[in-house]
Amino acid sequence: MKLAWGPDEEVFRDELVAFLEAHAPPEARVLRDFRTGDAGDDVIPRWAREWQATLFDHGWMIPGYPPELGGRNATPVQTLVYLEEMAHRGIPRSLHFPGHGIVAPSLLEFGNEEQRRLAPAAIRGDTIWCIGMSEPNAGSDLASLRTRAEVHDDRFVVNGQKVWTSYATVAQRCFCYVRTDPAAPKHRGISLLIVDMDTPGIEVRPLRHITGAADFAEVFFTDVVVPREHLVGGLHDGWRITTGSLAHERAGLWVEGVARLERTITDLVDLARRRGVAGDPTVRRRLATAYEEAASLRALGYKGFAGFARASSAPEHSYLKMATSELGQSLYELGMELQGAYGSVVDPERGEEGGRWSTGFFVGFASTIAGGTSEVQRNIIAQRVLGLPRS
């Protein structure tokens, strides 16, 4: 049996490919293992902003949305074809994920009429957003956040700190989760505010990591006044909104993650041949196991996407987030092992591919933390999917 898309989906794919061939800039056609420090201090380079706007204007930014939101009313299956083709080619839609992936769908689902009007600019990339979730003592455990917002009739007054806030150095607005009822249980009493980043009392401190890039930041709030109309959804209803936001985030990310795994496995086979170990039974077994795991993850992704497209829950996405990041890390480690003594060398004259495998291995640790640590994902799977009791 051979599984394949139908003729309508292939026509849709041909239209997409023709558009990409005509419009995708050279910078978008580079297959990347990871995006760290590509642009130095230019967190969102100009080509990426222009490319995102081009996708929106031609209805290819989020195909399932209507044209006024950067789409073409595509079906869920067509959307999946789109995601697969983009992932296969390694072409990013955006280097600013929060705006189109978290903020816009959350505003469209939970915002009032005025707030929903902010969605097109977020999707097109005209407005840069950051997400105020992580704090020094509340990373993956968002319910432990301590940033407080005093509630007044016409305003909120925010005090606290966020950390590891992507794009905060260039963002115009922040989707900020705050505690509005400190007496409530920790999953309650949280609210979501839209905060203008030029409001007095906000201080942004870039966090420069070892690669030299400064795409993270700390954000400090000192008596920051936020108008009452900037509340998204109901007061103290932020937890329900954030679970919906993360569901939107992960609904399509697995496609890119699995495609990256498949490309990495193909490149590992080529590396094994160059190193003269392709015939080693241990190497062959490890490569075959990795191939089987990636194929299984793709099948699981299809199952989860089918559920998500029917507006039901997709618990598979929590597992896929954890499994793709951990398998990716193990693949880069295998790449280092295949090089032997040169596994940790980044000198292009001695190491393989300019240190791709060692760099990917170390950057891979971040992927098991960002967006929810593997430990948190295991708890979610155990408690909410398998129904296991708390220890």
What is the DSSP code string of 235-279?
A: TTBHHHHHHHHHHHHHHHHHHHHHHHHHHHHHHHHHHHHHTT-TT
The DSSP call for residue 186 is T
Dihedral over alpha carbons 167, 169, 174, 178 (to 10 degrees): 100
What is the DSSP code string of 87-126?
A: HHHT--S-S-HHIIIIIHHHHHHH--HHHHTTHHHHHHTS
Dihedral over alpha carbons 245, 247, 252, 258 (to 10 degrees): 130
Residue 9 bears catalytic tag: no
For residue 355, give the nearest of 2, 87, 36 by alpha carbon. 36
Q: Of the listed 249, 256, 262, 293, which one is catalytic?
A: 249
Query: 129-132 and 173-179 as β-strands: parallel, antiparallel, unpaired?
Result: parallel
The torsion angles phi and psi of 44, rounded to 5 degrees, stand at: -125, 95
Helix, coil or strand: residue 211: coil
At residue 295's C-alpha, the angle toward residues 293 and 300, to 5°, is 90
**Whole-number Å distance between alpha carbons of 119 and 318:** 26
Residue 210 class from Cβ within 10 Å (0-12 exposed, 13-18 middle, 19+ buried)? exposed
Query: 190-196 and 173-179 as β-strands: parallel, antiparallel, unpaired?
Result: antiparallel
CA distances from residue 338 to 248, 265, 343 in whole angstroms, order as listed: 38, 13, 7
Residue 120 class from Cβ within 10 Å (0-12 exposed, 13-18 middle, 19+ buried)? middle
Active-site residues, by number, are 249
